[in-house]
Amino acid sequence: MRKAPALLCPSFCLPRETRGSQINHGVSVLQNVRLTHTIRRLLPGHPNPKKQVLSNPAFEQRMIHPDTELRFISSEIGYGVVATKLIPKGTITWVQDKLDRVFSPMQIDQMGAEYQHILSTYCYRNNAGNFVLCWDNGRFVNHSFNSTCISTAYDFEFAVRDIHPGEELTDDYGYLNITEPFRAMDEGKRRKKVYPDDLVKYHRVWDKKLEAAFKYYPKVEQPLQKLLPEETRHLCSQIAVGDEKMSSILTCYFDPSK
């Protein structure tokens, strides 16, 4: 495994942009404070982000589901992405788009410490070993061992159960190719830590949930569907009715030994 620069390890473990708060993932409180100050600078009309929803035209154009908003969850968790309306099972909740930036490890190594700190906070790693910086609120989606959303092999995420108003959109960081293991908040589950090879261990569990969600794909409103390539939309429709086999989430795995 490539040894990342100090600032990229282990916070690069907190893919999709550290998903809001990193305090619950063992990352320093200082980073969360910096995040708060950054948001305040971006949104001067919100002097106290803890007490207000972060809404601004700059945040409205996004490739995460439109019926979501960024909220302060708690001092322990920090910020998170919350549903403002019911998001049914089988709904696409996020799409990787052309505005997302992809950085190779070499590019990151050549950057200064300040850039590395930002990227280590807000990136996830794809199956090529490159780091993806989401430009939208997707970077604030927090970890859960019982996530409401799961990544697919097609560069988008599904709601794998109904997400109710006020409920967080969450991901299991186990399928985001973290670089170092970390202990997450205790959710009363058997799993307590997230590991770099969790995709190898648990892909069948996640595949089963995705296959169930795919059946609802043509039955629910899909506001993000227009962002998918035409061939991907057609393939999803075929998977939904059983005419094509879904590619396993295991295809998202990056094997650092290769």
Q: Give 179-232 as a 3 state SS string.
A: CCCEECCCCCCCCCEECCCHHHHHHHHHHHHHHHHHCCHHHCCCCCHHHCCHHH
Q: What mean pLDDT value characterizes the chain?
A: 81
Q: What are the pLDDT digits (tens) for 226-238?
A: 999 999 999 999 9
Between residues 8 and 197, the one the model is more confident about: 197
What's the pLDDT at 12? 35
Element (H, E) at 151: strand 149-151
What's the pLDDT score for residue 62?
61
pLDDT per position as a tens digit, 19-68: 433 333 333 333 333 333 333 333 333 444 333 444 444 444 468 999 99
Distance separating alpha carbons of residues 155 and 60, to the nearest angstrom: 21
Tally of CB atoms within 10 A around 193? 11
Q: Between residues 35 and 119, which one has the greater pLDDT?
A: 119
Q: What would the pLDDT profile of 99-111 be if each residue is shown by its tens digit?
A: 999 999 999 999 9
CATH number of this structure's domain 6-252, picked from the four choices 2.30.110.10, 3.20.20.80, 3.40.50.300, 2.170.270.10: 2.170.270.10
Q: Is the pLDDT of residue 143 over 90?
A: yes
Q: Where are the domains of the chain?
A: 6-252
